[in-house]
Amino acid sequence: MSKLRTFEKPTGVRDLPPDITAKKRWVEARVEECFRRWGYREVVTPTLEFFETVGDASAIAEHKLFKLLDKQGQTLVLRPDQTAPIARVVSSLLGEEPIPMRLHYHGNVFRAQEREAGRFAEFHQSGVELVGDASPEADAEVIALAVETLKELGIAPLQLVVGHIDLLDALLLEQTGSSQNVEVLKQSLGSRDVVAYQKQVSELDIVSSKQEKLLQLLRFCGDEEVFTLFEEHTHCERALAGVNHLRRIWSVLQDWGVAEHVMFDLSLVGSLDYYTGIYFEGYGAAGYYLLSGGRYDHLLARFGRDHPARGFALKTDRLIMASPGGPRKIERIALVYSVRSRRKAFQQANYLRTKGKAVVLYQEEDQVPDQEFDRVVRVKEEGLDD
């Protein structure tokens, strides 16, 4: 292998320069503020987890995990998401705390990219998990919070798309009669390949009326009118229970006043397959995919505390680009002093710092990089202090 250049980094990771870092902090602070106002408390989980527990529970495909060995030979992973670690915390460290529990986080997650060109392996995310409470109100709460958070960041236009995984499973099973077919069709929907889905449907060995129903599934995309259409479409009780749940969520979202930003797409499938109920994605500004989340009812049970839960993760790296806002600019001042004016310069610097300015000191013989500062002030000697 050729010798690495000293500035090289592993593929998919990157440094953030000061201005981007400042924007990231600003995004996280605004997000944090929203989460806190809605009663979510922050937790921090470790970057390393065991592969056998959290790694395996986190539905990110195994080949996308960064794995390493500890000194005992146990396989560790760099956390591929935050939801599984938080499920572990809720079931252990916070095992005695009452449910429902509202938690949030800011953190980096790692996913190895199979095809590496220009794709990231480390992502910054902020998100919430609402554990416990099976009601549509709780599902709607995180959707409403997602909308509020994006609005707080000035994202416009802004569109959340909501689907329902159990409803989709039930409908596909009703029409195809085999869970193997359900998997194949979901795979195509999940990779957003409508052409493959239509082809697979046409090749299924089922009556044409069922094929027609499977094709119609793609048209259940819009606001509440899709519910009525859907109810005429199926007799499957599980699917109807799902649509009833969505109907109730819609009514809660109207009361939250965020319904105008939400639409439904009953063929929506997430890439993580631990979702069991609603699944949603958020898009905004000039073409950014900004968040995803949903309901996961079986994950907590893996850690011994069986509760429904839902949450979402914001893609911080994209919010940094998509949000038109940014941190308030702080005036940067260079103070130039001589040996004789040093004490006075230091006093003046401290005073300016209490006023919220950023102050850097230079000795008179130093070269001051003017372009870095809004003002350069030469501190004059004023009488002799000694």
Partner 1 sequence: MIRQTPLTLAMPKGRIFGEALELLKKAGLKVPGEWTEDSRKLTIEVPDEQLSFLMVKPMDVPTYVEHGVADLGVVGKDVLLEEERDVHELLDLMISPCRISVAGMPDWTPHANLKVASKYPHIASQWFKQQGEQVQVIHLNGSVELAPMIGLADRIVDIVSSGRTLQENGLIELEEITKITSRLIANRASYRLKKGRISGIVAGLTRVVAQEGALR
192 binds partner 1 (CB under 8 A): yes
Closest approach of partner 1 to the CB of residue 153, in Å: 16
Structural element, H or E, at residue 95: none
Q: Give the pair of three-digit tokens for residue 164.
A: 């329902």
* Minimum CB distance to partner 1, residue 161 (Å): 6
Sequence-distant (6+) residues with CB within 8 A of 94 are 101
Q: Which stretch binds partner 1 (CB under 8 A): 46-54, 286-294, 324-332, 341-349?
A: 286-294
Quote the CA–CA distance of 159 and 142 in Å, as a whole number: 15
The binder of partner 1 chosen from 10, 18, 287, 324 (CB under 8 A): 287
Q: Which residues, 213 to 252, sit near partner 1 by CB under 8 A?
A: 221
Binds partner 1 by CB under 8 A, chosen from 10, 18, 73, 157: 157
* Beta bridge partner(s), residue 41: 103
Among 36, 68, 228, 289, binds partner 1 (CB under 8 A): 289
Out of 16, 29, 93, 194, point to the residue binding partner 1 (CB under 8 A). Answer: 194
**Closest to partner 1 by CB, 239 or 290:** 290
Where is the binding site for L-histidine, in residues? 81-83, 111, 125, 129, 274-275
Which residue type is seen at 101?
M
Q: Which is nearer to partner 1, 219 or 357 (CB)?
A: 219
Q: Which residues are annotated as a binding site?
A: 81-83, 111, 125, 129, 274-275
Query: In the complex with partner 1, which residue's Cβ is closer, 119 or 355?
Result: 119
Judged by CB under 8 A, the number of residues near partner 1 is: 20
Please select the residue that binds partner 1; options are 1, 4, 286, 384, rule is CB under 8 A: 286
Minimum separation from the CB atom of position 287 to partner 1 (A):
4
In the chain the first and final C-alpha atoms are separated, in Å, by: 65
The string of DSSP letters for 346-384 reads HHHHHHHHHTT-EEEEEETTSPP-GGG-SEEEEPPP-S-
Query: In whole angstroms, what separates CA 259 from the centre of its chain?
Result: 21
Asked whether position 115 contacts partner 1 by CB under 8 A, the answer is yes
Contacts of 160 (CB under 8 A, 6+ apart): 143, 146, 147, 261, 262, 263, 280, 281, 282, 283
Binding flag, residue 256, partner 1 (CB under 8 A)? no
Q: Which two tokens stand for residue 101?
A: 């529990």
* Helix, strand or coil, per DSSP, at residue 210: helix
The bridge status of strand 332-337 relative to strand 309-315 is unpaired
Binding residue (CB under 8 A) for partner 1 from 284, 293, 294, 308: 284
Peptide bond into 100 cis (omega under 30): yes
According to the binding rule CB under 8 A, does residue 195 interact with partner 1? yes
Region binding partner 1 by CB under 8 A among candidate stretches 80-88, 99-107, 188-196, 324-332: 188-196
Q: Which long-range contacts (CB under 8 A, 24 or more apart) does 106-110 make?
A: 106/28, 106/31, 106/32, 106/42, 106/316, 107/44, 107/45, 107/47, 107/79, 107/82, 108/47, 109/78, 109/79, 109/80, 109/81, 109/82, 110/65, 110/66, 110/78, 110/79, 110/80
Of 50, 120, 288, 346, which lies in the binding site for partner 1, with binding defined by CB under 8 A?
Answer: 288
Size (the chain), residues? 386
Q: Is 203 in the site for partner 1 (CB under 8 A)?
A: no
Binding piece for partner 1, criterion CB under 8 A, among 7-15, 127-135, 157-165, 333-341:
157-165
Residue closer to partner 1 by CB (options 286, 384) is 286
Q: How far is the CB of 265 from partner 1 (least distance, A)?
A: 9
Distance CA 192, CA 158 (A): 20
Q: Shortest gap between Cβ of 118 and partner 1 (angstroms)?
A: 9
Residues binding partner 1 (CB under 8 A): 115, 157, 159, 161, 192-196, 198-199, 221, 263, 281, 283-284, 286-289
